[in-house]
Structures are given as C-alpha cells and as structure tokens.
Amino acid sequence: MSNLLIGLLSALVATNQPAALSNFVAQTTGALVNVPDPNDPVEKEYQKLLEQDDAAQEEVDKWIRDEAAFREQGAGLPGATLRARVEQRLKPVRAAYEDFLRRHPEHARAQLAYGSFLHDTHDEEGGVEHWEKARELDPKNPAAWNNLANHYGHRSPVKKAFEYYAKAIELNPREPVYYQNFATTVFLFRQDAMEFYKINEQQVFSKSLGLYRQAIELDPNNFVLASDYAMTYYGIKPVPTDEALAAWEYALKVAPNETDREGVFVHLARFKLNAGRFDEARKDLKSVTNEVYDVLKNRLLRNLEKQEAEARGTNAPPPSSVK
C-alpha cells in the first residue's frame, strides 16, 4: 500500500477528519487544502444550494435538447416561450444564491459557484464580478483564477489570462484542465503570447505544446485532450511531420470507440499524404469505413491520386503543407 493511500486512510479515521485530511494533503503535496466540515450548518446549506443549482441546470439542458429534437421534426415551442420557461426555472436558484450570500458574503466557494451560475446563464459581467470576489476572499483557490482566465481569454485582456492560468497552475499543479486551457489560449493568441513572453512564434508553439504535454501526462487517457494536442500541428509551419504523427498515433491509442478511431485515421492520412508518404496514407484511409467520414475520405483519395500522378510525372518532392 502506498504512503499516500496509508496517509489518506489515517486521516479518514481521525477524530477531526477535515483538519487531519487538510494537514496531510498539505504535507504530502505542498498544496494547502481547506476541507469543510460536512456537519457545519452553513456547509449543509451550501451543499443544498449546489444541488438546487445542478438540478435546475440539468432540467434546463434537457428542455433545450428536447426542443432541438422537436424542431428537427418541424415542431417545437417559439423561442420566446422557451426562454421564459428557462428564466422561470432558474429564478428561484438565483434568489437562493442571493439570499445565501446576503447572509454569508464572505463565503468564497458560494461566490465562485454563483459566478459560474451567472456566467452559464449569459450574465458574464455578473459572473466575473462574483469570481473576482471569490478570488479576493480566497486567493489560494485555483478554480477562481482559472475561471477568470477563461473569461479574459475570450473577452480580453488576453495577457491577463496568461497570468491567471499560471497562477491557477501554481496553486494546483496536478489539474490537467488548467494546462489544457493555458495551452489553447497561448496557441490561439500567438501574437499576444509573443509580446507578453518576449519570444518568437516557434517558441510560442513550443510553449503551447509543452503545456499540452503536461496536461496529457496528468490525464493520459483523455481522448479529447489528446486530439486537441494533435490538432495544434495543423497550425504550425513548417509542419514537424514526425511529431504530428506521433501525436495522432497517441490519440488513436486512447480513442474510446471505433468512430473516433476512424476519425484519427483521417488525420493520419492527411499528414502522411502531405509528407509524400502515399502508401501509408492509402492504408490509413482503408481503415475508414464509417459513412460519416465519406466526404473527407473521398476528398483525400482524390488528392492522393493527384499528388501521386504529379510526383510520378515531375519527380518533384511532395508538398509539405497540410491541406
């Protein structure tokens, strides 16, 4: 049995479990964790508030999915009617948050949760206000820094997002989502990253890819993460073909189903085609049989035939850019 597991079990049988667990995590990982007392009346009320929030948003999500399905069949409610229904369902949740925070304005996790509720319900300004309040109340909570970084990455200033992601990672270096979010933002806003870090574009690529790799190391079986990492190679010029193929091979390894695996084969074929590895590309495309990929597969087969013919006719080196 590992020392970590032994320590956790010891903490769980302690008289004061929240304090013991918090102290153990801090000693073992260096991360300071405040574990709330589940018997505290305020904590119980807060947990019920979260349950109320989750139940309402789950129901609203179902309404929206159902409405989309009805509209595909030519039915469905008018948009204004659905919006009114959603607003009515969420209204008591908003009131419950506001009532709780009137009585417990220093409750950082409630400020954070209410900020997420507001942001999810399209009140971005209100969401940011409560996230900032949560950050001020508990500056060691990495979730507040990450949420604000996500906002600034979408709405600017982007350079503030870089700072906030770095802080979230500093506070919790074991959370892969923070690295993934940071990597994506650096990659998408390369000019800002070049100015902020005083590096060139190739170094920006390296920084983004390095952050993705750290995320994958922490969450190695996450197919979406592995795919996001591999997709970045479409934006890098000149294309590091071997690295790109290795990334897609890894995504293939962790793909959860056959449909996703065939999608990866499409990407592998595209990179191999543009690297002049025609036989390998053709072999990958033979593995694609799902009709959902028919358009992409047929387009790649046409390009394959064209580039093979050009290579035979001119003996010119194959193109290196990914199309």
Instruction: Please state, for a pLDDT cut of 70, what percent of the chain lies above it.
Output: 85
Q: What average pLDDT does this structure show over 107-128?
A: 95
CA dist., res. 119 & res. 284, Å (int): 43
Min mean pLDDT across 67-76, 82-91, 159-168 is at 67-76
pLDDT higher than 60, residue 172:
yes
**Residues 6 or more apart whose Cβ sits within 8 Å of residue 24:** 7, 8, 10, 11
pLDDT at 204 over 90: yes
User: Does the structure show a pLDDT above 70 at 4?
Assistant: no
Q: What is the pLDDT of residue 15?
A: 42
Percent of the chain with pLDDT over 90: 75
What local confidence, expressed as pLDDT, does residue 149 receive?
97
Rounded CA-CA distance 24/316 in Å is 64
Give the residue-averaged pLDDT of 5-21.
Answer: 41
Span 304-315, average pLDDT: 85
Which string of DSSP letters, residue by residue, matches 76-107? Answer: ---HHHHHHHHHHHHHHHHHHHHHHHHH-TT-
What's residue 67's pLDDT?
85
Helices H / strands E in the chain, number of each: 16, 0
pLDDT at 23 over 90: no
For tokens 């194959």, what's the residue?
318
Q: Is the Cβ–Cβ distance between 300 and 278 less than 8 Å?
A: no
pLDDT tens for each residue of 134-168: 999 999 999 999 999 999 999 989 999 999 999 99
Tell me, what's the pLDDT at 13?
A: 39
Which residues, 6 or more positions from 263, have their beta carbon under 8 angstroms from its beta carbon?
255, 293
Q: What is the DSSP string of 139-164?
A: TT-HHHHHHHHHHHHHHS-HHHHHHH
For 250-275, what is each residue's pLDDT tens digit? 999 999 999 999 999 999 999 999 99
Give residue 164's pLDDT.
97
Mean pLDDT of 183-201: 96
- Asked if the bond preceding 157 is cis, omega within 30° of 0, the reply is yes
Residue 66: pLDDT band with limits 50, 70, 90: confident
Q: What is the C-alpha to C-alpha distance for residues 71 and 77, in angstroms, rounded to an integer? A: 8
Q: Is the pLDDT of residue 5 over 50?
A: no
* 205: region left, alpha or beta (phi > 0 left; psi from -120 to 50 alpha): alpha
Does position 315 have pLDDT exceeding 70, yes or no?
no
CA dihedral sign, ordered 304, 254, 184, 214: negative
* pLDDT classification of 56: cutoffs 50, 70, 90: very high
